[in-house]
């Protein structure tokens, strides 16, 4: 593999923010979706794979270095704790730190043919953090289908289904607006007046 720092166009002394910024810029530039109908699609996919591999390699190098010095990545523990086998350890850390937009951006930069069960699980977590329970449940379900023996994925899927069954349901902002609320109130007022009552006295 080429020098991962050269692939991302950063120096070996670059800090974490510089590396992430460089990765995001390259991910935007070479994201396969931008080349769906282009003869450059295969080239873009190859370049995106190279960028992802370089980023993962740099993060692994720095994670191993931090572990040996007893700081950094190894210093926290939670449900999103970095796993030695995880391809997305850095994204897990971002989710743990509630940096959902950054986590989403990195997840969206992963080519579709490289999106495994863990990718769907983490995407479900970002959607859950935004309150989009229906969409999150779909992603958790896909993660479980792809890796049914994974307890972490099953626990997340079961937890979100319990939340939805108890009525804690959040939808995207496109599903409801002020006009819908007003219309519903006016309709309820009409029904009340037909029964001899009055919900909205001014109408």
Q: What is the CATH number of the domain that holds 67?
A: 1.10.287.110
The domain total for the chain is 1
| Cα end-to-end distance, the chain, whole Å | 73
In a domain, 47, yes or no: yes
Give the tens place of pLDDT for each residue, 27-70. 888 887 787 778 888 888 888 888 888 888 888 887 776 655 44
Range of the domain at 60: 1-82+98-113
Determine the angle formed by the axes of helices 16-30 and 41-69, rounding to 10 degrees.
Answer: 160
Mean pLDDT value across the chain: 74
In a domain, 146, yes or no: no
Of all residues in the chain, what percent carry a pLDDT higher than 90?
A: 11
In a domain, 42, yes or no: yes
- pLDDT score of 67: 58
């Amino acid at each position: 593999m080429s020098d991962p720092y050269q692939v991302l166009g950063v120096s070996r002394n670059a800090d974490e923010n510089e590396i992430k910024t460089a990765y995001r810029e390259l991910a935007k530039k070479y994201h396969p979706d931008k080349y769906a109908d282009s003869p450059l699609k295969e080239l873009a996919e190859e370049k995106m794979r190279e960028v992802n591999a370089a980023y993962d390699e740099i993060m692994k190098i720095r994670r191993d270095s931090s572990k040996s010095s007893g700081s950094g990545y190894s210093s926290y523990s939670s449900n999103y704790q970095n796993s030695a086998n995880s391809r997305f350890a850095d994204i897990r850390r971002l989710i743990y730190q509630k940096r959902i937009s950054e986590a989403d951006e990195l997840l969206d930069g992963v080519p579709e043919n490289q999106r495994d069960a863990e990718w769907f699980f983490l995407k479900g977590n970002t959607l859950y953090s935004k309150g989009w329970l229906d969409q999150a449940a779909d992603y958790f379900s896909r993660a479980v289908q792809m890796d049914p023996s994974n307890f972490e994925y099953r626990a997340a899927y079961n937890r979100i289904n319990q939340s939805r069954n108890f009525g804690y349901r959040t939808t995207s902002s496109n599903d409801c607006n002020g006009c819908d609320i007003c219309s519903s109130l006016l309709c309820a007022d009409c029904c009340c007046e037909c029964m001899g009552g009055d919900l909205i006295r001014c109408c």
